[in-house]
Amino acid sequence: MINNISLELLERFYVLDITKALVIIVVGYFIARFISNLVLKFNFANLTTHTKVLVRRGVFYFIMVLMLMSALRELGFDLSVILGAAGILSVAIGFASQTSASNLISGLFLMLERPFSIGDIVRVEQTTGEVISIDLLSVKLRTFDNLFVRIPNESMIKTQVTTLTRFPIRRVDISVGIAYKEDVERVKALLHEIADKNPLSLNEPTPLFILQGFGTSSVDILFCVWSKRENFLTLKNEMYQSIKQAFDEQDIEIPFPHLSLYSGEASKPVRVEMTESNEQEKP
């Protein structure tokens, strides 16, 4: 009888401990979410979006670890033994997953170096998109055609990464070719006039006119104008349209490749003869 009562009491205490542990974890989860979200409302030392997200995650996981340790203590576990086992397990997992460890270390370097932040536009090899997340194992991008791209941190460290929105202004490079018969100085003045008329083109730095060389059928020109980074694509499109319209109005020729047509044997081209449509009548 006494043994049965003792067992019942032990079971009740054990159920009570489990209940306390679950309550601690559940309550701790909501407390961690509340405090981590509260951190984002305060701008400490003008933190960037990237740093705010890191601080938020750090606070959340720190509180959850404390709550988990408190729950384990309620269940009667010896934390020193658990921490020792966790250390051995972490070493074993590290040897078993070297790639993940490499990505983890690379992620720490990315967070310390901060070559880009959340919201920046980056180009990684052939992929260009907006950074939507920087995690310990990978970086997530959203491309301009709304695709989700996950790039491991190790690849981000080893690969050349270009941040397109790092600086407030960008240079728009416009390549154009003109016929050899055209006056280069006239074309130069016309291009500068087109840039001056466009409100998106910045006066400082001044536009740059570069003769790139003599092509097979044209004089190759690189004309560079500057704009704010948010107006980059708009200015580039407007400049090409304005240059085409101005060249047509000024009768400036833009050469283009010509094709030769062949029929039958490849060595014999089609013979084309030009005849006058209006022949003079003989007297």
Output the domain CATH number for residue 138. 2.30.30.60
Q: Is residue 256 part of a domain?
A: no
Q: Report residue 81's pLDDT band, with 50, 70 and 90 as the boundaries.
A: low
- pLDDT value at position 281? 46
According to DSSP, residue 224 is labeled E
Q: Tell me the sheet residues that pair with 224.
A: 173, 208
The pLDDT of 198-212, averaged and rounded, is: 93
| Residue 87 and residue 12 share a domain | yes
State how many domains the chain has. 3
DSSP alpha helix (H) spans, the chain = 2-40, 49-74, 79-96, 98-113, 153-158, 184-197, 232-249
Q: Is the pLDDT reported for residue 129 higher than 90?
A: yes
Domain extent at residue 154: 114-163
More confident position, 275 or 108: 108
Q: Which pLDDT value is given to residue 96?
A: 45
Give 150-215 as a 3 state SS string: EEEHHHHHHCCEEECCCCCEEEEEEEEEECCCCCHHHHHHHHHHHHHHCCCCCCCCCCEEEEEEEC
In the listed set 129, 163, 197, which residue is the last one of a domain according to the structure? Answer: 163
Whether residue 123 lies inside any domain: the answer is yes
pLDDT at 176 (0 to 100)? 94
- Average pLDDT along the chain: 79
What pLDDT was estimated at residue 25? Answer: 82
Are residues 158 and 205 part of one domain? no
Q: How confident is the model at residue 278 (pLDDT cuts 50, 70, 90)?
A: low
In the numeric block, which tokens belong to residue 111?
Answer: 């967070």
pLDDT at 123 (0 to 100): 93
Tell me the per-residue pLDDT of 62-75, one tens digit each, with 9 for 90 and over. 888 878 877 777 67
Q: Is 119 part of a structural domain of the chain? A: yes
Residue 122 pLDDT class (50, 70, 90 cuts):
very high
Q: What pLDDT does residue 198 have?
A: 94
Q: Does some domain include residue 151?
A: yes
